[in-house]
């Protein structure tokens, strides 16, 4: 666990703040551990997969060509080389989800920078085990869970706004809540919906 505080904060003050939040911290840790997990995906024909909150059936095409992914209104088509294993298919799908996020995230950041009056120096996509996002407020950078490409776009926007507000106010203080209330009034509903959606099945220790 990491506590982020202004540089001038005295250690005893930071320690007292952390102690005062222990009950909340433990409750959040318990909620994340109890949160539903997706069943492990095998990347086989007619398996269910998600894109922007919608369920699609997977179609697997084996051909001797560069792997690729495409989709229409009801199906995601995964093209892979013959004999490809589950890990290879997972990697191809993960790259596809990241590419789709890279198409959307910069526009969301540009939309919210003038509203929040905070610049974002950059963002990074990463598989994270128990978080949807995080930030480095000193470097003005945000980090987003690459699984967000499977969730509704409005929930992705909520996470982007949440992390950008942390660039202004690093802690979950009253000021942080006030800023969210002002700029993104439905944040509570978005948070509840996002935290009810399943996390991925595996342990995410790699980027």
Answer whether residue 156 is part of any domain.
yes
Convert 51-65 to b/e letters by CB count within 10 Å (16 or more is b).
Answer: bbeeebebbbeeeee
Answer whether residue 117 is part of any domain.
yes
Question: What pLDDT score does 15 carry?
Answer: 66
| Residue-wise pLDDT tens digits, 22-52 | 665 555 554 444 444 467 889 999 999 999 9
- What proportion of the chain, given as a percentage, has pLDDT over 70? 77
Nearest Cα to 137, choosing from 162, 160, 167? Answer: 167
Residue 202: pLDDT over 50 = no
Tokens standing for residue 9: 């904060």
What is the band of 97 on the pLDDT scale with cuts at 50, 70, 90? very high
Answer whether residue 149 is part of any domain.
yes
Total domains present in the chain = 1
Q: How many CA atoms lie within 13 A of 43 on its CB side?
A: 19
Q: Rounded mean pLDDT of 136-149?
A: 95
Q: Rounded mean pLDDT of 85-97?
A: 96
Beta bridge partners of 58: 76
Answer whether residue 135 is part of any domain.
yes
Question: What pLDDT score does 203 carry?
Answer: 34
- Structural domain that includes position 114: 87-196
Strand arrangement, sheet containing 48-51: 48-51, 54-62, 75-80, 68-71
What is the band of 207 on the pLDDT scale with cuts at 50, 70, 90? very low
Q: Rounded mean pLDDT of 108-117?
A: 98
Full-model pTM: 0.78
What is the band of 68 on the pLDDT scale with cuts at 50, 70, 90? very high
Nearest Cα to 195, choosing from 132, 142, 137, 141? Answer: 132
Question: What pLDDT score does 196 carry?
Answer: 83
Secondary structure E strands in 81-191 = 122-126, 133-136, 141-145
Secondary structure E strands in the chain = 48-51, 54-62, 68-71, 75-80, 122-126, 133-136, 141-145
Residue 11: pLDDT over 90 = no
Answer whether residue 186 is part of any domain.
yes
Answer whether residue 9 is part of any domain.
no
Q: Rounded mean pLDDT of 163-173?
A: 96
- What proportion of the chain, given as a percentage, has pLDDT over 90? 71
CATH code of 185's domain: 3.30.2010.10
- Using CB atoms within 10 Å of the CB of residue 14, give its burial: 0 to 12 exposed, 13 to 18 middle, 19+ buried: middle
Answer whether residue 67 is part of any domain.
no
Q: Rounded mean pLDDT of 153-163?
A: 97
| Residue-wise pLDDT tens digits, 174-197 | 999 999 999 999 999 999 998 888
Q: How many CA atoms lie within 13 A of 4 on its CB side?
A: 13
Answer whether residue 80 is part of any domain.
no
Backbone φ and ψ for 30, nearest 5 degrees, come out as -65, -40
Q: Which residues contact 128 (CB under 8 A, 6 or more apart)?
A: 134, 143, 145, 147, 204
Q: How many CB atoms lie within 10 A of CB 124?
A: 12
Question: What pLDDT score does 191 carry?
Answer: 92
């Amino acid at each position: 666990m990491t506590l982020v505080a202004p540089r001038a904060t005295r250690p005893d003050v930071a320690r007292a703040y952390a102690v005062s939040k222990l009950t909340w911290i433990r409750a959040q840790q318990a909620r994340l551990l109890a949160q539903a997990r997706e069943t492990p995906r095998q990347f086989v024909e007619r398996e269910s997969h998600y894109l922007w909150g919608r369920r699609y059936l997977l179609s697997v095409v084996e051909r001797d060509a560069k792997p690729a992914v495409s989709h229409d209104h009801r199906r995601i088509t995964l093209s892979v080389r013959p004999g490809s294993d589950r890990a290879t298919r997972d990697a191809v799908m993960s790259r596809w989800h990241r590419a789709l996020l890279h198409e959307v995230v910069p526009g969301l950041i540009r939309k919210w920078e003038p509203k929040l009056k905070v610049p974002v120096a950059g963002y990074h996509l990463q598989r994270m085990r128990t978080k949807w996002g995080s930030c480095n407020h000193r470097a003005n950078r945000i980090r987003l869970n690459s699984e967000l490409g499977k969730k509704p776009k409005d929930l992705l926007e909520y996470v982007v706004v949440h992390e950008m507000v942390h660039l202004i106010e690093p802690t979950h203080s009253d000021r942080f809540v006030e800023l969210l209330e002002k700029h993104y009034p439905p944040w509570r509903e978005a948070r509840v919906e996002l935290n009810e959606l399943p996390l991925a099945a595996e342990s995410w220790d790699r980027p």
